[in-house]
A and B are shown apart, each in its own frame.
Chain A
């Protein structure tokens, strides 16, 4: 079982360009999440989805958008990247939202120049 896959593994992006980070899970989990992880800071939630067809804003949603067309996929889009979006991005999923283990993908390291 693959669990959660993310693509690309790493990317260097010019400021002002758009980019979509891909996330796919094969566990049939209802809830999915996008976090960013920066040195010296805890993981911060960008967006989440409780179930296919629904999304919600997390702690740091500005500059990012998500969609959840089906159970398996939860792409994260940066419409116009800025250097402050340089980070490691983790996608995660859980069977349900609340009191449930979150399983993380391997992460995408994004550098915006």
Chain B
């Protein structure tokens, strides 16, 4: 199976840094996606990691370690608009996305 685990909810302060983890158990996958989903809206793409290491994109960075079975999304200089759910998804060998349940991030002033 490809169980994907994410914390259900996290709270952080405006201007701070937060790391959202995603752990998985799988024998193999093509890559790992992160999406953002504001309440009542559609998911939108944030990042895609194939190789181990850190991918930086503005205030958001995503990290993948295949050997350790985890990824994280790092959000810097948090803004109130970053309050959303963050979804981790693995692409399996059949190109199907297997999604985690998502982490609801609450930003406090």
Contacts and interface: CB of A to CB of B under 8 A. Distances in A.
Partners in one complex: yes
A48 B30 CA distance: 18
A43 B43 contact: yes
A97 B45 contact: no
In this complex, the member of A40, A97, A99, A105 whose beta carbon has the largest number of chain B beta carbons within 10 angstroms is A99
Contacts of A107: 41-42
B42 A43 contact: no
B96 A90 contact: no
Contacts of B60: none
Of the four ranges (under 10, 10 to 19, 20 to 34, 35 or more), the interface on chain B belongs to 20 to 34
A13 to B, nearest CB: 20
Contact of B91 (A43, A90, A98, A106): A98
A97 B4 CA distance: 21
A107 B39 CA distance: 12
A59 interface: yes
A42 interface: yes
Nearest to A59: B96
B43 A101 contact: no
B50 interface: yes
Contacts of A90: 42-43
Contacts, number: 46
A44 B102 CA distance: 12
A44 B42 CA distance: 14
A102 interface: yes
Interface string A78-113: 000000000000100000011101111111000000
Contact of A104 (B31, B42, B91, B100): B42
A52 interface: no
A102 B45 contact: yes
B51 to A, nearest CB: 12
A37 to B, nearest CB: 9
Interface string A37-61: 0001111110010000000001100
